[in-house]
Structure 1
Amino acid sequence: MKTVMRWDEWFSQDGIGLSNLVRSGEVTAAELAAQAASAIASINPDINGVVEVFEDAVADPWANGTDQDGLFKGVPFLLKDLGPTMKGRLQEMGSLYMKGNRASADSFLATKIKKAGLNVIGRTTTPEFGCCSSAENPAVYVTCNPWDTRYTSCGSSAGSSVMVGAGVVPLAHGTDGGGSIRIPAGVNGAIGLKSSRGTFSIAPAGSDFTSVVSTQGCISRTVRDTAAFVDTCRGGAPGEFMPYWTAEVPFLTLIERDPKPLRIAVSHEWGVYSASPAIVAELERVARFLERLGHYVEWGPLPDIDFAKAYAAQTTCYITNFAQTVNSLLRLKGLEKPPEDLIEPMNIRIWEQGKDATYTERADMQLAFNATARAFGAFFEEWDIILTPTTSKETPLLGTTEYLTMTDNPSALDWFANLWGFFAYTPLTSLCGTPGISLPLAKQANGMPLGMLAQAAQGKDGLLLQLAAQIERAIDGKWNNGDKPQVHVTRLKAAED
């Protein structure tokens, strides 16, 4: 397939940069789509991040209702195979059980994405129902990390993260209910923002009120693309259970100036969980870097919360939410219990554990959520940012079944407790509805990327993006210290005419 630009030129442009080329007439949206499709064809066999390419959207970027006047005019975009739906498109949720499932309508967020000018050219991999640390079921697909294909991509926004990490597209869709944007962004060398509650709608099938912890967003490689995605795709649909907030200043404008000197609390000790020594050393290095940028940095302060109770409540939320997800899908096909040959073992155990949960259990969960959120709120009255690593342990090799829903662990409770030991720092942000951003600022001892996670008070998404933009300018845009993964578009040869 012919490409319109060299691969180093392709990678040098973020989404806004590509849209400016379309707007100026230097390239067409169809040429961009063809180049992205060419990258997928070359790279996907190595990392398995894309489930399907929408050939009609590649051939005609405007055929499916993409707005030709949108800010991201004609930029190729990939949609996680979970969350927002597009009418007539497959959405199989990483599950054999959902094979052949087609959406009957566009979701509200899908209409916002198209109005933003993003051309959705395909869908990306995810663990079954998004309930896992990695997209690894050999009967469906195994998504690999582009930095070293022996390692996992993490998840649940697995395919979107590896495709952004490999330079295939500048940004892609993700969802995050406990770290599912931030964690894979962190281990694949990308930027991942989990927005505050009340930013992105999940209408018409649900709302932030019913979902409690999950939110939508994107994974990108520049701060301005993330800022632009939030600016253009945020907002509530008619009939939301709660108001959807808007920023006083568009994020694209806000990130042009540095934040005021910030009070940043740094820690790797998160209840009973703590990071490995090599990760702690990287956290210390990044903290010193932030001091040099003029911020006040102190090691150790944390919100006064009962971490054990908070994680237990988060586990209750996950088990009951996923159990009802499975219940709803069973009703679609008139089944009373999950078929063992079509739904993964841990998801069946989660269904068994959570399907008969009582209102009292959910009420107790909400009380713990409230206590945790209030404590974080009080903390953020004195501190602007909490800085931690994105993960507490090194990225696992593929096939590390203890973190997979393919595990033979008989206990859903034990399985989640083990997950929190790896993903210690991201779940409570989801619990509180507060924002967090993973930035590709560090390395693991084995050379794999390591994200650094900045968290802020609810509604302070703009502050996180300001800090991220300040960092990006200070490092001259060279995230990951300018290094690139083994599997990357810049390693491709230009296609022949």
Structure 2
Amino acid sequence: MTLAMTWEEWAAHDALALAARVRAGEVAPAELAAQAAAAIARTNPALSAVVEVFEDLVADPLKDGMDPAGPFAGVPYLMKDLGVPLKGRLQEMGSLLMRGNRAAADSHLAGRIRKAGLNILGRTTTPEFGCCSAADNPAVYSTRNPWNTAHTTNGSSAGSGAMVAAGAVPLAHATDGGGSIRIPAGACGLVGLKVSRGVYSTAPFTSDLTGLVSIQGCHSRSVRDTAAFLDACRGGAPGEFMPFWTPDEPASRLIGRDPPRLRIALSHEWGDYRAVPHFVAELEKAGRLLESLGHHVDWQVPTVDLRAAFAAQTTCYISNFAQTIGALLAAKGLDRPPEGLVEPINIRIWQAGIGTSFSDRFRMQAAFNAASRAFGAFLEDWDIILTPVTALPTPRLGTTEFLTISGNPDVQDWFANLWRQFPYTPLANLCGIPAISLPMAMQENGVPLGIQAMGRQASDGLLLQLAAQVERALDGRWNEGRRPAVHIAA
């Protein structure tokens, strides 16, 4: 098969650059789909990141209602196998229990993605129900990091991160209930924006009332692709429980200007948690770059009761995931998770959380409010909080202590261990504030390290402005201009 571009050409294009070529008549959406399918076939054997390619949409990109007049003009896109159902397509959620599950209806966001001109070509890997920090269960699949295949991509948007980093597609779906956009973006050297509440809707499924912390989004290799995705895909469905907001100016226009001089707080000492020394040094290096761009940078610790916040976050996770698992079981006529079809920690989460009382949730919500207001007060004095995305190095494949295949008998202890690895991302979900992972640093194991910028509610555009300013300062050379070991152009 003759492809429309060389692999070097393909790797040099972000999503908007590909769309521009479509609009110029230089390439057709079907040619882009064929190239993306070939790129997946070329990289996926080493990474195990794509569950399924939708061959009918490779052959006919318009078949499911993709609008080629949208800003992405038929650019190929991969959907995480969780969070945004596609009518009639398999959605198996990384779980043996859900093998063969087909979605009965589209979500609102699926329609927005197609309207934006993105051709949803297939499904990417995720840990079971998106509950843990890597898609690494040999009974299902083990997704490897393209920078160093001995390591995971982190999670839970594992396969999306791997495929975008490897150059197979320029843009892919990700979700974030406590860092699952930012954490794999950080480990894969990508841009990953977790938006404020009230931006993306998954109606008629989980809303912010029932989900409370979970957010949709994307992985990309350029700030402008993330901004364009935000502009095109945001917005609520009719009858949303909470208000969906619109900024004064589209992000795609805003990123063309540098932000004003910002007050940036460097921080890594969060309650009981600390980053390893190398990560602290990389954070300090990022701070010096921002200082050179004219921003005021200093070390600060947010004045938040972090122990209470993490305890509330644990209650939220246990009770939310228990209800998710319970609903899936009920749909199958089951009254408890079957051994061997649901992973051990998820069974323990169901046992611990299915009976959560309203009183427990009320206390959790009170702690959420206290933490959110404390972060809000801190962000009156500081525009940005800058942290590493993770506190500890990205685990090697087969490290089970962070996975839901762990044999840890104590689910509270399992979550506490998770927070030690990933303390800096979950509280943005708790507070509903935006945060972005930028590929500004490297770990000693050769895996990228994301630097996270958090801002006050509805400052999504400001975070993207800052990200674009950094991208320009680096001449677009994220990850020091390096490529992963597994890459379409390698």
Normalising by structure 2, we get a TM-score of 0.99
Give distance in 2, aligned partners of 1:125 and 1:298: 39
Give distance in 2, aligned partners of 1:304 and 1:442: 27
Structure 1 partner of 2:148: 148
Give distance in 1, aligned partners of 2:385 and 2:48: 34
Any conservation in 1 of the 2:148–2:446 contact (CA below 8 Å)? no
Per the TM alignment, residue 481 of structure 1 is displaced from its structure 2 partner at its CA by: 0.5
Structure 1 partner of 2:120: 120
Structure 2 partner of 1:170: 170
Please say if 1:360 is aligned against 2:390.
no
Any conservation in 2 of the 1:126–1:159 contact (CA below 8 Å)? yes
Please say if 1:257 is aligned against 2:257.
yes
Structure 1 partner of 2:226: 226
Instruction: Return 5+ residue gaps in structure 1 as ranges.
Output: 492-497
Give distance in 1, aligned partners of 2:68 and 2:467: 29
Structure 2 partner of 1:69: 69
Which amino acid in 2 is paired with 1:144? R
Per the TM alignment, residue 378 of structure 1 is displaced from its structure 2 partner at its CA by: 0.7
Any conservation in 2 of the 1:2–1:35 contact (CA below 8 Å)? no
Give distance in 2, aligned partners of 1:325 and 1:248: 36
SS state at 2:381 partner: coil
Instruction: Return 5+ residue gaps in structure 2 as ranges.
Output: none
Any conservation in 1 of the 2:182–2:389 contact (CA below 8 Å)? yes
Give distance in 1, aligned partners of 2:218 and 2:445: 27
Give distance in 1, aligned partners of 2:196 and 2:324: 23
Structure 2 partner of 1:463: 462
Please say if 1:136 is aligned against 2:110.
no
Please say if 1:344 is aligned against 2:336.
no
Per the TM alignment, residue 105 of structure 1 is displaced from its structure 2 partner at its CA by: 1.3
Structure 1 partner of 2:332: 333
SS state at 1:490 partner: coil
1:184-225, Cα deviation, whole Å (9 max, x unpaired) = 000011110000000000200121121100000001000000
Give distance in 1, aligned partners of 2:364 and 2:106: 33
Runs of 4+ residues deviating >3 angstroms: none
Per the TM alignment, residue 382 of structure 1 is displaced from its structure 2 partner at its CA by: 1.0
Mapping of 1:358-437 within 5 angstroms? Answer: 358-437=357-436
Structure 2 partner of 1:88: 88
Give distance in 1, aligned partners of 2:38 and 2:82: 24
Aligned-pair Cα RMSD in Å = 0.6
SS state at 1:198 partner: coil
Give distance in 1, aligned partners of 2:112 and 2:218: 13
Per the TM alignment, residue 2 of structure 1 is displaced from its structure 2 partner at its CA by: 2.5
Structure 2 partner of 1:439: 438
Per the TM alignment, residue 302 of structure 1 is displaced from its structure 2 partner at its CA by: 2.6
Mapping of 1:233-312 within 5 angstroms? Answer: 233-299=233-299, 301-312=300-311
Between the two proteins, what is the percent identity of the paired residues? 64
Which amino acid in 2 is paired with 1:6? T
Which amino acid in 1 is paired with 2:410? S
Structure 1 partner of 2:196: 196
Structure 1 partner of 2:104: 104
Any conservation in 2 of the 1:330–1:337 contact (CA below 8 Å)? yes
1:132-169, Cα deviation, whole Å (9 max, x unpaired) = 10001111111000001110111000000000111111
Give distance in 2, aligned partners of 1:189 and 1:266: 20
Any conservation in 2 of the 1:202–1:208 contact (CA below 8 Å)? no
Give distance in 1, aligned partners of 2:93 and 2:207: 19
Structure 2 partner of 1:23: 23
Any conservation in 2 of the 1:389–1:452 contact (CA below 8 Å)? yes
Which amino acid in 2 is paired with 1:315? T
Any conservation in 2 of the 1:392–1:424 contact (CA below 8 Å)? yes
1:112-137, Cα deviation, whole Å (9 max, x unpaired) = 00000000000100000000100011
Structure 2 partner of 1:494: none
Any conservation in 2 of the 1:403–1:415 contact (CA below 8 Å)? yes
- Count of matched residue pairs: 490
Give distance in 2, aligned partners of 1:35 and 1:381: 48
Give distance in 2, aligned partners of 1:239 and 1:475: 43
Normalising by structure 1, we get a TM-score of 0.98
Give distance in 1, aligned partners of 2:163 and 2:409: 34
Give distance in 1, aligned partners of 2:106 and 2:183: 28
Give distance in 2, aligned partners of 1:161 and 1:389: 18
Which amino acid in 2 is paired with 1:209? L
Structure 2 partner of 1:495: none
Stretch of structure 1 that moved more, 2-11 or 457-466: 2-11
Give distance in 1, aligned partners of 2:259 and 2:451: 18
SS state at 1:489 partner: coil
